[in-house]
C-alpha cells in the first residue's frame, strides 16, 4: 500500500480510539471496583490504566510519522517546481526537522515510555502483592472483597473482554502492513486486557457454584501477569540495544510484547505449529489426508471427550476414611438420615448440576487454643523463652491461690477484702493449650458430619488464620478451660494435679461440644507448658529447694520426735494417752493448790483433791511403767533407791534402839566407847596417844626434823616447842 500521511493519519486515529477505549474500560472497572467492593476489578483497572502509556506513545509516534510524510511531500513538490540550485539540495538532516524529531522519538521517547511503562507495572504489582499479603492467612488464601452484583460484573468484564479481543484482532491485521506495524503494541495491550477481563469473568461465573478458589487465583494472577509483561519489556529493551537494523528501518518498540501478539493472531500460531510439525517429520505432513481428517474431526473428538468427562462426573467415590455429600446448588440431596454417604461409591447428576463434597472424618485436626511455641524442643523449662509469631501474646489464666498461704497454726490466711486488691485470692499461670479433635462419624439421630458443617462455615475473614467454625470451637473450648482452671489452686496446677488436668479438660470440653451439637470428638487436650505467669517463673525455682529443705527439717524433727518418744515411752503410739494423763495430773495439782489457798490445807476439799491427785499420779505411773521406756526405768530406779534408803534408815533405827539399854546402864562408858569408835573410824590414819594424866600437868614437845629436808626453806629449823 502507499505510505503517505493519510495512512499515518488513520493509524493515529486508530491509536486515539484505542486510548479512548482503554480509558473507558479502566475507568468503568475502577468505579465498579470501589462502588461494588470488588478487589479483582480494581486490580484489572490498574493494569488497564498502564496501557494508556502505550497508546499515548503510539499516538505521538504515528502523528510524527504523519508530519514527516507531509514534510517529505512538501519537499518533493518544491524540488519538482524549482529550477536550478535550491536550499533542498543540502543535507536532509539540516532541513528535515520532522524526520529528525521522528528519529529522536525512536531513540529516546519510545525507550523512555517503555521504561515508564515497566516502572508503573512493577510498582502497581508490588502494591497488589502487598495488599494480598495483608489479606492472606496462614494457609495462603485470602478474603477478597467480592461484589454481590455478580451478574453486572460478568456483563462488564465479558463485554469489554470481547470488544478488546475484536479490536486486537483488527489491529493485528492492520499491523501486517509495514506502515502500521507499530499497531502490534496496541494489539498486545488489547489482548492483555481481554485475558485479564476474561479471567475475572470466569472466576465470577464459578462463584455461582460457591467456588471461590478461582477468583482467588485470578487475584494473585493479575500482578504476576503484570510482572511477566514488565520483564518481557525489559528484555526487549535490552535486545534492541544489540539487535542490528537495516538503514532507514525504525526499531520495534520495547513495549510491543511478542507473546501477547501471538494471542492476538492465533492463526499465525497455528501456522507456526504446522511448520514445526512439517520440519520435524521432514515433509509436508499437514497437507496429508490423515492430518486433515484429524483437523476436521477435532470438534467431534472434543465433544466426545466432553461427554465422557460428564459421564464420569456422575460417579463419586468416597474413600475408606471419608464421608461424602451430594450438593445441588449448595443444598443437600437425599432423604433425612441418608444424606451422608459412607465409604464406597454412589451416583449423582453430572457436573455442574450436582457436586460431591468429600470430608476426611478420621484424621486428627489440631486447633491451638493459645499461641503456640514456634521453637523446636524436646523438653520445656520454665525459664525457656517462648517463641511466638509477631503480634501474638500469651494471655495468662486465673487460678486459685497456693495452699502455702497459711499461718503458724496451719489455718488459711484470709485476704484483706477491705479494698479492691484480690491478689491474695488468685494467681496467674501461663499455659500453652492445643486441642486435638476429629469429626464424629455418628452423633445420635443427626450424623456428626452434618452437625459439624451446620456448626459453622469454612470461610476465613480478613487477617484471620482460622475458619469461622474453628474460631467458634476455639472460643468455646477456651471458655471451658478458663472456667475449669479457676477452680484449681496454684499447687494443683503446678504440681499435684498436673498430670490429670489434660484428661479433666478433655472431658469438660467434650461435654460443652456435645451441648452445642458441634459434631466434634475431642481426642486430647495437650498442655505442653504450664508455668507461673511472666517473670515470676524464675522466682519459683527456689521454691522446690525450700520445700525440700522444709521436708528434710520436718523429717529430721519427726525422726527426733519418734526417737525421743521411743526412748521415753517405748511405744510412740502411747504418747497421746500419756500426754493426756500427764495433763490430767497437772490439772489436779493446780486444782489442789487453788483449793489449799482458798480453804486451807486441812479442809475436806483439799484432802479430796489430794486423793484425786494421788489417783492421777498412780494412773500416770502405771502408763509409764507399762510402756517400757526410759521413764519406766527412771521410775523403777527411783523406787529401788527409795526402798534401799528406807531399809538403811530402818536398820539404823534398829541399831539405835538396841544401844539404848547400854547407854542407860553406863552412860560415861558408852560415851567414851563411842568416842573411841569415832577415832577409829574417822582418824584411822593418824598417830594417837592415850595419856592417863590430867592435861594441865602434861608438857608436849614436837620436833619437825623429819619435815625439814636439806636445801629447802626449812633448812636450819631444828625444833619448835610448844607448851599447852
DSSP 6-58: HHHHHHHHHHHHHHHHHHHHHHHHHHHHHHTT-HHHHHHHHHHHHHHHHHHHH
Residue 94 CA to residue 286 CA, distance in Å, equals 55
Q: Lowest-confidence range among 166-170, 474-478, 549-553, 602-606?
A: 602-606
pLDDT at res. 139: 46
Q: Lowest-confidence range among 141-150, 299-308, 414-423, 646-655?
A: 414-423
Nearest to 315 by CA among 362, 348, 285, 359: 348
Q: Could you give the C-alpha distances from 236 to 114, 204, 232, 253, 258, in angstroms and in order?
A: 10, 34, 6, 8, 9
Report which of residues 194 and 65 the model is more confident about: 194
pLDDT at res. 49: 92
Tell me the mean pLDDT in the region 269-274.
63
pLDDT digits (tens, 9 = 90+) for 552-588: 898 888 888 777 777 776 666 777 777 788 788 888 8
pLDDT at res. 22: 92
Task: Give, for 478, the enclosing helix (H) or strand (E).
Answer: helix 468-485
Local structure of 368: helix, strand or coil:
strand
Provide DSSP, 160-197: HHHHHHHHHHHHHHHTTSGGGTTHHHHHHHHHHHHHHH
pLDDT at res. 414: 53
pLDDT digits (tens, 9 = 90+) for 630-676: 777 777 788 888 889 889 888 888 878 888 888 888 888 888 888 88
pLDDT at res. 405: 55
In terms of Cβ atoms closer than 10 Å to its own Cβ (0-12, 13-18, 19+), residue 107 is exposed
pLDDT at res. 247: 64
pLDDT at res. 28: 92
Judged against a pLDDT cut of 80, whether residue 626 lies above it is answered with no
pLDDT digits (tens, 9 = 90+) for 404-440: 654 545 455 554 544 444 455 778 888 888 889 888 8
Tell me the mean pLDDT in the region 690-695.
69
Contact 368, 528 (CB under 8 A): no
Judged against a pLDDT cut of 50, whether residue 79 lies above it is answered with yes
For residue 407, what are the contacts with CB-CB under 8 A and spacing of at least 6? Answer: 413
Q: What do you get for the CA distance between the two ends of the chain, in Å?
A: 185
pLDDT at res. 723: 39
pLDDT digits (tens, 9 = 90+) for 469-490: 888 888 899 999 888 888 888 7
* Residue 445 pLDDT class (50, 70, 90 cuts): low
> % helix / strand / coil in the chain, to the nearest 5?
60, 10, 30
Judged against a pLDDT cut of 50, whether residue 722 lies above it is answered with no
* Residue 24 pLDDT class (50, 70, 90 cuts): very high
Report which of residues 231 and 372 the model is more confident about: 231
For residue 430, what are the contacts with CB-CB under 8 A and spacing of at least 6? Answer: 386, 394, 396, 397, 529, 530, 531, 532, 533, 534, 537
pLDDT at res. 140: 45
Whole-number percent of the chain with pLDDT over 90: 6
Tell me the mean pLDDT in the region 78-83.
62
* Residue 174 pLDDT class (50, 70, 90 cuts): confident
Contact 406, 491 (CB under 8 A): no
Judged against a pLDDT cut of 90, whether residue 25 lies above it is answered with yes
Calculate the average pLDDT of the chain.
78
- Most confident option among 7-21, 350-364, 375-389: 7-21
Judged against a pLDDT cut of 70, whether residue 106 lies above it is answered with yes
* Residue 711 pLDDT class (50, 70, 90 cuts): low
Q: What angle do CA 25, 31, 35 make, to 5 degrees?
A: 145
Q: Give me the residue label for grid cell 462419624.
A: 441
Residue 619 CA to residue 624 CA, distance in Å, equals 9
pLDDT at res. 197: 92
pLDDT at res. 281: 63
Grid coordinates standing for 128?
497488589
Q: Could you give the C-alpha distances from 362 to 194, 319, 321, 521, in angstroms and in order?
A: 45, 11, 6, 10
- Most confident option among 11-25, 411-425, 505-519: 11-25
pLDDT digits (tens, 9 = 90+) for 384-402: 677 777 777 788 888 887 7
pLDDT at res. 714: 47
Tell me the mean pLDDT in the region 351-379.
79
Report which of residues 57 and 636 the model is more confident about: 57
Local structure of 399: helix, strand or coil:
strand
Q: Lowest-confidence range among 171-175, 217-221, 329-333, 412-416?
A: 412-416
Residue 376 CA to residue 387 CA, distance in Å, equals 10
Report which of residues 111 and 561 the model is more confident about: 111
Do you know the residue count of the chain?
Answer: 724
pLDDT at res. 17: 93
Contact 263, 191 (CB under 8 A): yes
For residue 542, what are the contacts with CB-CB under 8 A and spacing of at least 6? Answer: none
DSSP code for 495: I
pLDDT at res. 716: 52
- Is the model's pTM score more than 0.75? no
pLDDT digits (tens, 9 = 90+) for 223-268: 999 999 989 888 888 887 777 766 666 777 777 877 777 777 766 6
Contact 543, 402 (CB under 8 A): no
Contact 41, 32 (CB under 8 A): yes
Tell me the mean pLDDT in the region 593-610.
77
Local structure of 363: helix, strand or coil:
coil
Q: With the CA atoms of 705, 707, 708 and 714 taken in that order, what torsion angle do they form, in degrees rounded to the nearest 10?
A: -120
In terms of Cβ atoms closer than 10 Å to its own Cβ (0-12, 13-18, 19+), residue 447 is buried
Q: Could you give the C-alpha distances from 678 to 29, 106, 682, in angstroms and in order?
A: 145, 157, 6
Per-position b or e across 639-664, b if 16+ CB within 10 A of its CB: eeeeeeeeeeeeeeeeeeeeeeeeee
Residue 191 CB neighbour total at 10 angstroms: 27
Judged against a pLDDT cut of 90, whether residue 23 lies above it is answered with yes
Report which of residues 35 and 539 the model is more confident about: 35
pLDDT at res. 141: 47
Amino acid at each position: 500500500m502507499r505510505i503517505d500521511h493519510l495512512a499515518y493519519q488513520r493509524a493515529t486515529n486508530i491509536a486515539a480510539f484505542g486510548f479512548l477505549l482503554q480509558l473507558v474500560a479502566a475507568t468503568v472497572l475502577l468505579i465498579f471496583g470501589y462502588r461494588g467492593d470488588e478487589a479483582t476489578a480494581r486490580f484489572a483497572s490498574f493494569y488497564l490504566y498502564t496501557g494508556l502509556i502505550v497508546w499515548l506513545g503510539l499516538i505521538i509516534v504515528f502523528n510524527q510519522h504523519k508530519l514527516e510524510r507531509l514534510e517529505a511531500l512538501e519537499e518533493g513538490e518544491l524540488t519538482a517546481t524549482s529550477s536550478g540550485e535550491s536550499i533542498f539540495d543540502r543535507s536532509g538532516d539540516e532541513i528535515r526537522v520532522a524526520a529528525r524529531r521522528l528519529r529522536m522519538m525512536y531513540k529516546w521517547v519510545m525507550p523512555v515510555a517503555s521504561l515508564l511503562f515497566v516502572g508503573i507495572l512493577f510498582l502497581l504489582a508490588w502494591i497488589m502483592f502487598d495488599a494480598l499479603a495483608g489479606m492472606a492467612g496462614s494457609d495462603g488464601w485470602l478474603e477478597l472483597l467480592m461484589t454481590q452484583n455478580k451478574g453486572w460484573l460478568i456483563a462488564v468484564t465479558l463485554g469489554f473482554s470481547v470488544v478488546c479481543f475484536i479490536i486486537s484482532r483488527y489491529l493485528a491485521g492492520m499491523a501486517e502492513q509495514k506502515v502500521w506495524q507499530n499497531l502490534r503494541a496496541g494489539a498486545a495491550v488489547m489482548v492483555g486486557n481481554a485475558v485479564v477481563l476474561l479471567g475475572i469473568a470466569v472466576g465470577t461465573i464459578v462463584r455461582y457454584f460457591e467456588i471461590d478458589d478461582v477468583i482467588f487465583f485470578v487475584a494473585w494472577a493479575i500482578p504476576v501477569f503484570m510482572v511477566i509483561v514488565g520483564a518481557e519489556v525489559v528484555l526487549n529493551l535490552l535486545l534492541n540495544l544489540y539487535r542490528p537494523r537495516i538503514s532507514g528501518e525504525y526499531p520495534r518498540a520495547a513495549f510491543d510484547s511478542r507473546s501477547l501478539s501471538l494471542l492476538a493472531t492465533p492463526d499465525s500460531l497455528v501456522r507456526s505449529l504446522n511448520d514445526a510439525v512439517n520440519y520435524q517429520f521432514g515433509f509436508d505432513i499437514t497437507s496429508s489426508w490423515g492430518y486433515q481428517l484429524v483437523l476436521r474431526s477435532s470438534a467431534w473428538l472434543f465433544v466426545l471427550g466432553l461427554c465422557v468427562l460428564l459421564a464420569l462426573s456422575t460417579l463419586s467415590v468416597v474413600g475408606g476414611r471419608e464421608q461424602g455429600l451430594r450438593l445441588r446448588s449448595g443444598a443437600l440431596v437425599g432423604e433425612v438420615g441418608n444424606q451422608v454417604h459412607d465409604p464406597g461409591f454412589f451416583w449423582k447428576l453430572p457436573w455442574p448440576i450436582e457436586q460431591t463434597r468429600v470430608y476426611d472424618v478420621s484424621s486428627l485436626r489440631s486447633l491451638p487454643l493459645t499461641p503456640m511455641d514456634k521453637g523446636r524442643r524436646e523438653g520445656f523449662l520454665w525459664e525457656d523463652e517462648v517463641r511466638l509469631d509477631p503480634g501474638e501474646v500469651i494471655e495468662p489464666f486465673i487460678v486459685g491461690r497456693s495452699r502455702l498461704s497459711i499461718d503458724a497454726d496451719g489455718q488459711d490466711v484470709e485476704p484483706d477484702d477491705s479494698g479492691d486488691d484480690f491478689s491474695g485470692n488468685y494467681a496467674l499461670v501461663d499455659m500453652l493449650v492445643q486441642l486435638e479433635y476429629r469429626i464424629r462419624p455418628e452423633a445420635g439421630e443427626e450424623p456428626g458430619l452434618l452437625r459439624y458443617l451446620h456448626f459453622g462455615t469454612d470461610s476465613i475473614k480478613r487477617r484471620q488464620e482460622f475458619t469461622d467454625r474453628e474460631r467458634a470451637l476455639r472460643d468455646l473450648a477456651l471458655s471451658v478451660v478458663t472456667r475449669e482452671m479457676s477452680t484449681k489452686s496454684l499447687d494443683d496446677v503446678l504440681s499435684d494435679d498436673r498430670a490429670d488436668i489434660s484428661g479433666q479438660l478433655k472431658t469438660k470440653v467434650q461435654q460443652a461440644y456435645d451441648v452445642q451439637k458441634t459434631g466434634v470428638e475431642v481426642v486430647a487436650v495437650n498442655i505442653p507448658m504450664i508455668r507461673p505467669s511472666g517473670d515470676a517463673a524464675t522466682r519459683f525455682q527456689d521454691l522446690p529447694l525450700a520445700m525440700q529443705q522444709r521436708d528434710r527439717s520436718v523429717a529430721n524433727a519427726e525422726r527426733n520426735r519418734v526417737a525421743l518418744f521411743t526412748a521415753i515411752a517405748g511405744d510412740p503410739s502411747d504418747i497421746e494417752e500419756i500426754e493426756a494423763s500427764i495433763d490430767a495430773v497437772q490439772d489436779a495439782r493446780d486444782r489442789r493448790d487453788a483449793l489449799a489457798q482458798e480453804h486451807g490445807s486441812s479442809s475436806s476439799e483439799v484432802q479430796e483433791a489430794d486423793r484425786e491427785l494421788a489417783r492421777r499420779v498412780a494412773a500416770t505411773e502405771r502408763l509409764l511403767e507399762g510402756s517400757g521406756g526410759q521413764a519406766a526405768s527412771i521410775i523403777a530406779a527411783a523406787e529401788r533407791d527409795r526402798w534401799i534408803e528406807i531399809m538403811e534408815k530402818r536398820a539404823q533405827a534398829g541399831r539405835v534402839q538396841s544401844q539404848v539399854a547400854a547407854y542407860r546402864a553406863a552412860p560415861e562408858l558408852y560415851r567414851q566407847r563411842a568416842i573411841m569408835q569415832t577415832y577409829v573410824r574417822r582418824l584411822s590414819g593418824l598417830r594417837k596417844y592415850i595419856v592417863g594424866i590430867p592435861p594441865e600437868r602434861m608438857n608436849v614437845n614436837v620436833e619437825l626434823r623429819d619435815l625439814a629436808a636439806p636445801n629447802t626453806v626449812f633448812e636450819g629449823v631444828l625444833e619448835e616447842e610448844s607448851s599447852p
